[in-house]
């Protein structure tokens, strides 16, 4: 049975929960990269100073991420002088 966006969002929520109690002051975040009906990358934010979920998912997906939607469960965070912006990532 083909998965829906809701299925991928639920997966991202499950991933985000892996960071429960570990991410403060950052939010819990899960991200899933989908292409051609399958997951090509996923990740969660494990804690302060660690890469964000989207970065982990995009790194895992590599070039397979090109053209595929990202399903993050939280807005990308960029705190000046603390966390880098995610926008400059290119594949």
User: Of these residues, 16, 53, 54, 71, which one is catalytic?
Assistant: 54
Token pair of 6, please? 């809701």
Token pair of 18, please? 């892996």
Residue 42: active-site member: no
Strands 30-35 and 70-72: what pairing? antiparallel
C-alpha closest to that of 30 among 39, 38, 3: 39
Residues annotated catalytic, as ranges? 54
């Amino acid at each position: 049975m083909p998965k829906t966006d809701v299925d991928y969002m639920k997966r991202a929520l499950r991933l985000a929960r892996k960071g429960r109690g570990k991410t403060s002051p950052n939010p819990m975040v899960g991200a899933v990269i989908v292409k051609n009906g399958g997951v090509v990358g996923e990740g969660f934010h494990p804690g302060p100073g660690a890469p964000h979920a989207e970065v982990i998912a995009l790194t895992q997906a590599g070039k397979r991420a090109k053209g595929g939607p990202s399903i993050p469960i939280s807005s990308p965070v960029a705190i000046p002088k603390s966390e880098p912006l995610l926008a400059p990532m290119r594949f």
